[in-house]
Amino acid sequence: MNRKKLISIVLLSAFLGSVLTVFVAGAFLRSMGLYADDALRLFGVMKFIQARYVNAPDATALVDGAIDGMVASLDDPHSIYMPPAMFKELRQHTEGSFGGIGVTMGFKDNNVKIISVLEGTPGEAAGLRAGDEILAVDGTPTSELQNEEVALRIRGEAGTQVVLRILRDGAEQEYTITRDIIQVASVRGVLVEGTTIGYIRIGSFAEHTGEEFAAEMNRLAGEGMTALIIDLRENPGGLITSCAAVAEQVVPEGRIVSVIDRDGDEEVYYSSLDERKYPIVVLIDENSASASEILAGALQDTGAGTIIGTTSYGKGSVQAVLPLFHEDGLKLTIAKYLTPNGRSIDGTGITPDITVERSPSDTTDVQFEAAKQYLIEHPSL
């Protein structure tokens, strides 16, 4: 009798445990907005593939594909699943040192063009030139890739090779280039010849950009700087924290940017700068995006800087990077940002105070010359 009772208790416990497991699993799925029929479709397809596909599939590869598909379904060019190699390259790039070929690219109208080639890099040695259009990377057309994917595919471990198909003067040619470590300071400055105007170029907002900007500002101040040009052209953005660190040095006390998530919660970055020290002109173009637009927008809204150039890219969203469990990662749009005056520039960009277009026939940098002339004519704060 006792044995039957014990068996009954064990069976009852197992049954209750199963019911509880199903209940908890159902509650967990519902908390993600995933109901039974969706869960059955997802896991049913995975099980069917594992059981019947002609070649035994790798379960991890199936999960990777499912994650990639989920992110792609968002139809957001700034949200992307990054396999291990791509995720590693992203981390290296934000640290300011990465394996690559040493070119700066611009993205417009689904075309990828080389804007500049750094001296002493594999790209220069291979014969790449500013103005070259990149048609494909390792056989994959750039038209099939998101902008960030193009950059991350070109980067890679030093010593490995990448094949670029280049269009130049109507002719196509393939270049096989061996990557090397590219050490890039994200900030460089100089005193404009014959003037006391400082010029600081910010190529991207990497981990140490705020410190590099402060060092250049101090050096130029010691050389007698009385006005400043900040060049954000071809700057694709980067870390919002680094952007804020730069803004704190040039934007007067108050808001720099407000970050708003989908629930309406707001995170605000502030500057505590008493007042700007110099008249400032900011150069932007159609490839100035994200964090570069935050800085330009803050200077424009607060009246601390005059914006010259062409309308910027219009990326008014903020991404979070989530490391996953297999050295891979996820970059996901989690919020929108607003300039100090509450402007959303997503899809519209920053409109310059003074529009100056560039042309392939220009023999000088007309935007830079316009910035220099403006500061000469407006020397005071």
Tell me how far apart the terminal alpha carbons of the chain are, to the nearest angstrom: 97
Round to whole Å and give the CA distance between 349 and 284: 10
- State the catalytic residue, choosing from 88, 315, 331, 372: 315
Displacement of CA 104 from its chain's centroid (Å):
14
Is 13 considered catalytic here?
no
Q: Which structure tokens are listed for 113?
A: 């063009």
Contact 92, 98 (CB under 8 A): yes
- State the catalytic residue, choosing from 132, 231, 285, 301: 301
Contact 172, 135 (CB under 8 A): yes
- State the catalytic residue, choosing from 204, 290, 292, 317: 290
Is 315 considered catalytic here?
yes
Contact 64, 72 (CB under 8 A): no
Neighbours of 86 (CB within 10 A): 20
Helix (H, G, I), strand (E, B) or coil at 101: coil
Is 79 considered catalytic here?
no
> Cα dist. 232→286, 295, 379 in Å?
10, 9, 21
Beta bridge partners of 180: 100
Contact 182, 98 (CB under 8 A): yes
Of 295, 291, 316, nearest to 237 by C-alpha is 291
> Cα dist. 174→139, 153, 160, 171 in Å?
10, 16, 16, 10
- Which sequence positions are flagged as catalytic? 290, 301, 315
